[in-house]
């Protein structure tokens, strides 16, 4: 199954029903029906695939732990933002991955980076629990956020760009920061699941929140924790809705489908990627194939493919209609901490791009061709 890069035309009628289902789901939810429909009507015949474009060895002096795309602005194309154990955050210009700038100012490793949908500002966070919000083009510090004793893990701006959600680690909560005032506006606490002992020794870390994801309509927020539970919040009411069960190991990354606001993809240390109906609380499917922890997951802009990065040093591309890995990239030599599809938009940039960053200090850029 490895290294499957055949570009044969696949028109397999037997797999059609499942894509039909995804159309139905899409139609039902009323959004994004177009893409799978198009896919179904013809483009379906093309196999999706990744092709390596460029790799930068020693892009950082140490392990690279975070990567995200800064959306294009009128003045420039989308940029790549990476954060590393070497305490720096770097900006790169595709496709040649030219280094645009190096931001210092963090102590201890940089664990996550996030970009505002406008592409103007971005945030980076390090192990010392500071979040630095800065202007992408000038590197001017806009604000420094901290909410002790809560530490900082994954962050994400909401689709409209009004709130920055920050996974608050041991505080068992997600902190929401207003992007206009940079004030803490809400703390979404993860409740303990009913029936668990109130204060056993271990429970302190059990709801340790590692990861956050916004739904594409910005109404829902999901967060993943060390013990594998996923919590769904209604953002408008700042209310916890329910847990999603299925993982029992840390969920370090999750992402909502861009075409269906109900569908959530989660990556866990249990080497699985799960696909949930986040509203209906049900597990739609589980995908296995990675040999070790799945550290990062991202969904392609058309919603038809997933990319995952794993401790097993590989990047995998998953065809959601087949629920199977269609390609495995093995160019990294150490854990792959981040994968990110470039968001669509920007002048003259139509081609799909995926980037991956790794403990091996390198960045890899791939061409992604969907169906």
Partner 1 sequence: MAYVYIPVQNSEEEVRVALDQLPRDASDILDILKAEQAPLDLWLIIAREYFKQGKTEQFRQILEEGSSPEIDEYYADVRYERIAILNALGAYYSYLGKIETKQREKEDHFILATQYYNKASRIDMHEPSTWVGKGQLLLAKGDIEQASAAFKIVLDGDRDNVPALLGQACVQFNRGRFSDSLDLYKRALQVYPNCPAAVRLGIGLCRYKLSQFEKARQAFQRVLQLDPENVEALVALGIMDLHTNETDGIQKGMENMQKAFEIYPYCAVALNYLANHFFFTGQHFLVEQLTETALAVTNHGPMKAHSYYNLARSYHSKGDYEKAGLYYMASVKEINKPHEFVLPYYGLGQVQLKLGDFKSSLSNFEKVLEIYPENCESLKAVGHIYVQLGQTEKALEILRKATRIDPRDAQAFLELGELLISSDAGAALDAFRTARGLLKKGGEEVPVDLLNNIGVLHFERGEFELAEQTFKEALGAGIWLAIMDGKIHNSHEDMQFFQQLDGDGTSVELSWDKVTTVFNLARLLEQLHDTEKASLLYRLILYKYPDYVDAYLRLAAIAKARNNIQLSIELIGDALKVDDKCPNALSMLGNLELKSDDWLKAKNTFRLASNATDGKDSYATLSLGNWNYFAAVRSEKRGSKLEATHLEKAKELYTKVLVQCPANLYAANGAGVVLAEKGHFDVSKDIFTQVQEAATGSIFVQMPDVWINLAHVYFAQGHFALAVKMYQNCLRKFYYNTDTQVLLYLARTHYEAEQWQDCKRTLLRAIHLAPSNYTLRFDAGVAMQKFSASTLQKTKRTADEVRSTVAELKNAVRIFSQLSAASSQNFHGFDERKIETHVGYCKHLLDAAKVHCEAAEREEQQNRQRLEVARQVSLAEDARRKAEEQRKFQLERRKQEDELKQVMQQEEHFERIKEQWRSSMPAPKRKDRSQAEDEDGGHSEKKRRRSGKKRKNDKGSKSRYDMDESEAEMMDDHEEMENEDATNMNDQEVETNEMNDHNGVGADNPQDFLVAAGLEDSDAEDEAVPSSTMNRRKWAWSDSDDDQPVERQPVASPNRENSTELPDSDGEIRESNKLNKDADVDDEDDD
Site of interaction with partner 1 (CB under 8 A): 1, 14-15, 62-63, 65, 85, 107-109, 111, 127-129, 148-149, 151, 153, 169-171, 199, 201-202, 204-205, 208, 210, 226, 228, 247-249, 269-272, 282-293, 310-313, 322-324, 334-335, 359
Q: How far is the CB of 340 from partner 1 (least distance, A)?
A: 18
Q: How far is the CB of 215 from partner 1 (least distance, A)?
A: 21
Report d(CA 314, CA 329) in Å as an integer: 5
Instruction: Name the residue nearer to partner 1 (CB basis): 128 or 367.
Output: 128
Residue 5: what are its φ and ψ, rounded to 5°? -120, 35
Instruction: Name the residue nearer to partner 1 (CB basis): 283 or 349.
Output: 283
Q: How far is the CB of 49 from partner 1 (least distance, A)?
A: 18
Report d(CA 128, CA 369) in Å as an integer: 39
Under 8 Å between Cβ of 114 and 134: no
Hey, is 87 helix, strand or coil?
A: coil
| The pair of three-digit structure tokens given for residue 261, joined into one six-digit string | 């606001």
Q: How far is the CB of 367 from partner 1 (least distance, A)?
A: 25
Q: How far is the CB of 293 from partner 1 (least distance, A)?
A: 6
Task: Report the candidate in 123, 154, 130 with the shortest Cα–Cα distance to residue 224.
Answer: 154
Instruction: Name the residue nearer to partner 1 (CB basis): 153 or 177.
Output: 153
Q: How far is the CB of 288 from partner 1 (least distance, A)?
A: 4
For residue 297, give Cα distances in angstroms to 73, 300, 308: 25, 10, 4
Q: How far is the CB of 35 from partner 1 (least distance, A)?
A: 22
For residue 136, give Cα distances in angstroms to 60, 77, 121, 184: 19, 12, 5, 22
Q: Is the peptide bond before 95 cis (omega within 30 degrees of 0)?
A: yes
Instruction: Name the residue nearer to partner 1 (CB basis): 95 or 245.
Output: 245
Q: How far is the CB of 33 from partner 1 (least distance, A)?
A: 22
What sections of the chain are H helices per DSSP?
16-29, 34-41, 203-206
DSSP code per residue over 236-248: TTTEEEEEE----
Bridge pairing between strands 110-115 and 251-256? unpaired
| The pair of three-digit structure tokens given for residue 369, joined into one six-digit string | 């061709």
Report d(CA 194, CA 198) in Å as an integer: 9
Tell me which residue has tokens 């922890």: 293
Report d(CA 57, CA 81) in Å as an integer: 16
| The pair of three-digit structure tokens given for residue 127, joined into one six-digit string | 């192990």
Instruction: Name the residue nearer to partner 1 (CB basis): 27 or 284.
Output: 284
- Compute how many other C-beta atoms are within 10 angstroms of the C-beta atom of residue 350: 7
Instruction: Name the residue nearer to partner 1 (CB basis): 81 or 325.
Output: 325
Q: How far is the CB of 1 from partner 1 (least distance, A)?
A: 8
Instruction: Name the residue nearer to partner 1 (CB basis): 121 or 339.
Output: 339
Q: How far is the CB of 53 from partner 1 (least distance, A)?
A: 26
Report d(CA 125, CA 296) in Å as an integer: 17
Instruction: Name the residue nearer to partner 1 (CB basis): 34 or 108.
Output: 108
Hey, is 105 helix, strand or coil?
A: coil
Instruction: Name the residue nearer to partner 1 (CB basis): 120 or 322.
Output: 322
Instruction: Name the residue nearer to partner 1 (CB basis): 53 or 297.
Output: 297
Task: Report the candidate in 123, 131, 191 with the shortest Cα–Cα distance to residue 158.
Answer: 123
């Amino acid at each position: 199954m490895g290294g499957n890069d055949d570009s044969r035309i696949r028109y397999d009628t037997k797999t059609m029903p499942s894509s039909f289902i995804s159309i139905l789901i899409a139609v039902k939810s009323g959004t994004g029906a177009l893409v799978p429909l198009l896919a179904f009507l013809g483009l379906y015949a093309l196999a999706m695939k990744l092709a390596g474009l460029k790799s930068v060895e020693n892009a950082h002096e140490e392990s690279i732990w975070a990567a995200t795309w800064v959306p294009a602005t009128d003045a420039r194309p989308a940029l790549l933002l990476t954060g590393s154990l070497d305490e720096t955050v770097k900006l790169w210009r595709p496709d040649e991955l030219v280094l645009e700038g190096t931001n210092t100012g963090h102590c201890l490793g940089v664990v996550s980076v996030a970009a505002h949908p406008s592409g103007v500002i971005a945030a980076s966070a390090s192990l010392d629990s500071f979040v630095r919000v800065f202007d992408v083009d000038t590197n001017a510090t806009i604000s420094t956020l901290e909410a002790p004793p809560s530490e900082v893990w994954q962050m994400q701006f909401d689709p409209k760009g009004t709130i920055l959600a920050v996974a608050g680690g041991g505080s068992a909560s997600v902190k929401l920061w207003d992007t206009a005032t940079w004030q803490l506006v809400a703390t979404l606490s993860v409740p303990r699941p009913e029936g668990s002992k109130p204060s056993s020794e271990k429970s302190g870390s059990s709801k340790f929140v590692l990861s956050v994801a916004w739904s594409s309509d910005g109404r829902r927020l999901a967060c993943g924790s060390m013990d594998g539970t996923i919590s769904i919040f209604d953002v408008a009411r700042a209310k916890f809705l329910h847990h999603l069960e299925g993982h029992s190991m840390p969920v370090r990354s999750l992402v909502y489908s861009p075409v269906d606001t109900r569908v959530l993809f989660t990556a866990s240390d249990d080497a699985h990627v799960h696909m949930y109906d986040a509203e209906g609380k049900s597990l739609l499917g589980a995908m296995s194939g990675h040999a070790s922890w799945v550290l990062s997951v991202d969904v392609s802009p058309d919603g038809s493919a997933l990319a995952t990065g794993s401790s097993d040093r590989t990047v995998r591309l998953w065809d959601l209609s087949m629920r199977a890995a269609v390609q495995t990239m093995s160019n990294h030599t150490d854990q792959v901490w981040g994968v990110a599809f470039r968001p669509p938009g920007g002048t003259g940039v139509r081609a799909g791009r995926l980037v991956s960053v790794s403990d091996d200090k390198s960045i890899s850029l791939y061409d992604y061709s969907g169906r």
